[in-house]
Copies of this chain bind each other. A is one copy, B any other.
Amino acid sequence: MGAREPVLIEGRWQASRDSGGEFRAFDPTRAVAFGPAFPISGARDVEAALASASAAADQLAACEPERIADFFDAYALGIEHDAPDLVALAHLETALAIEPRLAKVELPRTTGQLRQAARAVRERSWTQPVIDTAAGLRSHLAPLHKPVLIFGPNNFPFAFNAVAGSDFASAIAARNPVIAKVHPSHPATSQRLAELAHRALVEAGLPATALQVLYHLDPALGLSLAGDARLGALAFTGSRNAGLALKAAADAAGVPAYLELSSINPVFMLDGALRERGAALAQEFFASCTMGAGQFCTNPGVVVVPRSAHGDAFVEAAAALFAQAGEGVLFSQGGRDHYQAASARWREAGATLIGGGEAASGEGYRVRPTLWSVDAEQFIADARLRGEVFGPASLIVRTRDDYHDTIAIARALEGNLTATIYAAADDAYVQGALAAQLRPRVGRLIGNRMPTGVAVSAAMNHGGPYPSTGHPGFTSVGLPAAIRRFAALHCYDQIEESLLPAELRDRNPGGIARCIDGRWTTDDIGAKP
């Protein structure tokens, strides 16, 4: 056992308490381990992290929001300062392109998100104060006073990293400590981010114990951690099987679990839209499906296309693009295994490969983008065809006519993050009926745009009905809404002013939006309207 990288527990970088094992990052382009050894934490690290985070909870909840905001700003600045190194590390660990993806898209998105969190914390509007002056009741959303456990995914080393992404920003914005279980496919990137976060916590005068970082856990230990009643909430982004197992553990302990699981993000191409701009749509679809080797939660996994002249032309054009597509590199051996096994399930269930090839020609975790096709009837009959293939694969579902099959497909879908309708003016009738069917089955209904590219906006919903997530009422992207996942509703009944939090007092110097006696206002209480 050589020297291993330290974990972040109790506010300091220290050697793992456990001798369970170690792992290294893999270069996905060569399938070769590289870099330093990181510890696989055991029960002692987990207990120390839980105890330390729990002890920090009241302390963090009592911090001035301004300090939290300062932390976010300092952290964003730190990330920008270290951007070249961070991007280089993430590229080595994930094989995602440095430009534009890591340097121009994901890193700025991450720092932008942290700064949005800072603004939300300064504004305090996320706390949604509701005041009934006659009844003497004042309510708002408050910290959980317990740690939030975050499991980060493999596919966004910055923007969804458990130490830097939306879950992290949301949990800290609500003034809850974070126990981050980063994804073991990018440990060095996560370590660098965690070092910056740790430094920014100290700089901002926050408890350094507000963040505990573990790199890897045995799955059984992960479940026992997720089921610890000392947690205030669990956030997870990843595969359905792992997520549902964690949810079951958390549920049993009364810990709310916010999951972002699999989604096939159906895209409906209506005939009018194909007639108007079929060739452009084939390009748009191909780009969305293969970008980042298709490793997006909102990757367009299913495209519904009529059996019409315009539909045939679209499918031919798309197939041609897939046929000439270069290989993509997946994050891990497990990812490539899944891609191949899930594609094989599509084939077994009757889908035909119509573009691209299955065999990977190069070294590392390379795969070829693949386009498949199947009839609507078969798609509806066989649930295997409605399963996610994580990677640059998509299934074209051909409808016999534009209406009946289209609606039937929509009705066969389970909960998804998104659904998209491409329509022209003369598609209005089908479009309306289809939108009505899709609406309750997805979190975000999209018009004439591919589902990839999730804007960090207050009006975003990166969520959806079960089993795309664990709760249909919340989003994991978009501030301040995402913060509310990690909050408790607190009511003050006849409590004197001096014991009230700032946003519930009579005077409102910060101009927080509050609902007072049924009206949203930024006024003081008692102000003349």
> Chain A: residues with CB nearer than 8 A to chain B?
57-58, 61-62, 130-132, 135, 137-139, 141-146, 229, 247-248, 251-252, 254-256, 418, 431-432, 435-436, 439-440, 443-449, 455, 457-461, 463, 465-467, 470-475, 481, 484-485, 487-496, 498-499, 513, 515, 518-520
Closest chain B residue, CB of each to CB of A131: B459
Residues of B with C-beta under 8 A to A496 = 447
Q: Assess the A491–B135 pair: CB atoms within 8 A.
A: no
Q: Assess the B461–A139 pair: CB atoms within 8 A.
A: yes
Q: Assess the B473–A432 pair: CB atoms within 8 A.
A: no
A248 CA to B142 CA in the complex, in Å?
26
If A61-B440, A131-B459 touch, whether A256 touches B473 (CB-CB below 8 Å) is yes
Residues of B with C-beta under 8 A to A145 = 439-440
If A256-B472, A447-B494, A520-B520 touch, whether A459 touches B139 (CB-CB below 8 Å) is yes
Q: Which of B132, B248, B448, B457 contacts A135 (CB 8 A)?
A: B457
Closest chain B residue, CB of each to CB of A261: B254
Minimum CB–CB distance from A137 to chain B (whole Å) comes to 4
Known: A58-B436, A461-B491. 8 other contacts (CB 8 A): A248-B252, A256-B471, A431-B499, A443-B489, A446-B494, A459-B491, A475-B489, A475-B491
Q: Assess the B518–A446 pair: CB atoms within 8 A.
A: no
Minimum CB–CB distance from A417 to chain B (whole Å) comes to 10
Minimum CB–CB distance from A68 to chain B (whole Å) comes to 17
Closest chain B residue, CB of each to CB of A415: B254
Q: Assess the B61–A449 pair: CB atoms within 8 A.
A: no
Q: Assess the A493–B458 pair: CB atoms within 8 A.
A: no
If A61-B440, A137-B457, A447-B496 touch, whether A251 touches B254 (CB-CB below 8 Å) is no
Residues of B with C-beta under 8 A to A473 = 141, 256, 484-485, 487-489
Q: Assess the A463–B445 pair: CB atoms within 8 A.
A: no
Main secondary structure of the interface of A (DSSP, over half): mixed
* A-B contact list, 13 entries, CB within 8 Å: A130-B459, A132-B460, A135-B455, A135-B460, A137-B455, A144-B440, A251-B251, A432-B499, A445-B490, A447-B499, A461-B489, A465-B488, A520-B520
Residues of B with C-beta under 8 A to A457 = 132, 135, 137
If A141-B473, A248-B251, A473-B256 touch, whether A445 touches B491 (CB-CB below 8 Å) is yes
Closest chain B residue, CB of each to CB of A251: B251
A487 CA to B108 CA in the complex, in Å?
33
A251 CA to B248 CA in the complex, in Å?
7
Q: Which of B61, B142, B472, B494 contacts A488 (CB 8 A)?
A: B472
Minimum CB–CB distance from A11 to chain B (whole Å) comes to 21
Residues of B with C-beta under 8 A to A513 = 515, 519-520
Residues of B with C-beta under 8 A to A130 = 458-459, 481
A141 CA to B473 CA in the complex, in Å?
8
A435 CA to B490 CA in the complex, in Å?
12
Residues of B with C-beta under 8 A to A494 = 446-449
Closest chain B residue, CB of each to CB of A232: B472
Residues of B with C-beta under 8 A to A255 = 466
**Most chain-B Cβ atoms within 10 A of its Cβ — which of A142, A146, A474, A513?**
A513
Q: Which of B138, B444, B481 contacts A459 (CB 8 A)?
A: B138
Residues of B with C-beta under 8 A to A458 = 130, 132, 515, 518
Q: Assess the A493–B137 pair: CB atoms within 8 A.
A: no
Residues of B with C-beta under 8 A to A144 = 440, 472
Q: Assess the B248–A491 pair: CB atoms within 8 A.
A: no
Q: Assess the A493–B444 pair: CB atoms within 8 A.
A: yes
Residues of B with C-beta under 8 A to A465 = 488
Residues of B with C-beta under 8 A to A487 = 473
Q: Assess the A445–B489 pair: CB atoms within 8 A.
A: no
Residues of B with C-beta under 8 A to A520 = 513, 520
Minimum CB–CB distance from A23 to chain B (whole Å) comes to 32
